[in-house]
A and B are shown apart, each in its own frame.
Chain A
Amino acid sequence: MGSILQVAKLTKRFGGLTAVHDLDFEVREGEILGMIGPNGAGKTTTFNVVAGTYAADSGEVRFAGEPILGLPPHRIAARGVMRTFQHNRPFAGMPVIDNVLVGAHTRFAAGLWSLVLGTGRSDEAQKRERAEELVRFVGLGELRAADVTTLSFGQGRLLEIARALAGEPRLILFDEPAAGLTPPECARLAEIIRGIAARGIAVLLIEHDMHFLLPLAQRVVVLDFGAKIADGLPHEVRANPAVMDAYLGRHASAA
Chain B
Amino acid sequence: MKNAMVRGLVAFLLLSGAAFFMGEYHNDVYRKLLLWVTLALGYNFLFGICGQVAFSHFAFYGIGAYSIVIFLFQLHLPFPIAVLCGIALCVLFALAVAIPTTRLEGFYLALATLALGQLFIVVLNEGGAVTGGTGGIANYRLPDIFGMRVRGPWYTAVIALLLLFTYSILKRLDGSWFGRACRAVRDNPEAAAAMGVDVARTRVIAFTLTSALAGLAGMVYAFVDNTVNPPIFGIENAFLLLFMVIVGGAGRHAGAVIGAVLLFLLPFWLSPLVGHHQALVFGVLVVAAILLEPGGLIGIWDRFSKSRS
List residues of chain A with CB under 8 Å of any chain B CB: 51, 53, 72-74, 77-78, 82-83, 85, 89-94, 98, 101-106, 108, 110, 112, 115-116, 118, 122, 124, 163-164, 167
Contact = CB atoms under 8 A, between A and B. Distances in A.
A94 B194 contact: no
Contacts of A102: 180-181, 183-184, 192, 195, 197
B187 A74 contact: no
Given A82-B194, A91-B191, A92-B187, A105 B176 contact: no
Given A105-B197, A167-B195, 8 more contacts: A51-B194, A53-B190, A77-B193, A90-B188, A101-B177, A102-B183, A102-B197, A110-B177
B187 A118 contact: no
Contacts of A98: 180, 183
Contact of B178 (A74, A78, A112): A112
A74 B177 contact: no
Interface string B192-203: 111111110000
B209 interface: yes
B187 A93 contact: yes
B262 interface: no
A73 B175 contact: no
A74 B184 CA distance: 13
Contacts of B205: 112
B186 interface: yes
B251 interface: yes
A115 B194 CA distance: 23
Which one of B175, B177, B180, B209 has the highest number of Cβ atoms from chain A below 10 Å of its Cβ? Answer: B177
B186 to A, nearest CB: 7
A103 B193 contact: no
Which one of A51, A102, A106, A118 has the highest number of Cβ atoms from chain B below 10 Å of its Cβ? Answer: A102
19 contacts: A51-B194, A73-B194, A74-B193, A74-B196, A74-B197, A85-B191, A90-B188, A91-B184, A92-B187, A94-B184, A102-B180, A102-B184, A102-B192, A103-B195, A105-B196, A106-B196, A116-B172, A118-B169, A124-B177
B271 interface: no
Q: B-side binding surface: helix, strand, loop or mixed?
A: helix
A92 B191 CA distance: 11
Given A89-B190, A91-B191, A74 B176 contact: no
Interface of B: 168-169, 172-173, 175-178, 180-181, 183-184, 186-188, 190-199, 205, 209, 251
Nearest to A101: B180
Given A89-B191, A93-B186, A115 B173 contact: yes
Contacts of A91: 183-184, 187-188, 191-192
Contacts of B177: 101, 104-105, 108, 110, 124
Given A93-B187, A112-B205, A116-B209, A85 B176 contact: no
Contacts of B187: 90-94
Contacts of B191: 85, 89-91
B172 A115 contact: yes
B194 A83 contact: yes
A215 to B, nearest CB: 28
Given A92-B187, A93-B251, A105 B180 contact: yes
Contacts of A73: 190, 193-194
Contacts of B209: 116
A90 to B, nearest CB: 8
B176 A124 contact: yes
A151 B174 CA distance: 24
B196 A78 contact: yes
A74 B199 contact: yes
B214 to A, nearest CB: 15
A77 B193 CA distance: 8
Which one of A82, A91, A112, A118 has the highest number of Cβ atoms from chain B below 10 Å of its Cβ? Answer: A91
Contact of B173 (A90, A104, A116): A116
A179 B186 CA distance: 27
Contacts of A74: 193-199
Nearest to B181: A105
B196 to A, nearest CB: 4
A106 B202 CA distance: 13
Nearest to B5: A118
B202 to A, nearest CB: 10
A110 B198 contact: no
Contacts of A163: 195
Contacts of B180: 94, 98, 101-102, 105
B57 to A, nearest CB: 19
A93 B175 CA distance: 14
Contacts of A93: 183, 186-187, 251
B51 to A, nearest CB: 9
A89 B192 CA distance: 9
B195 A77 contact: yes
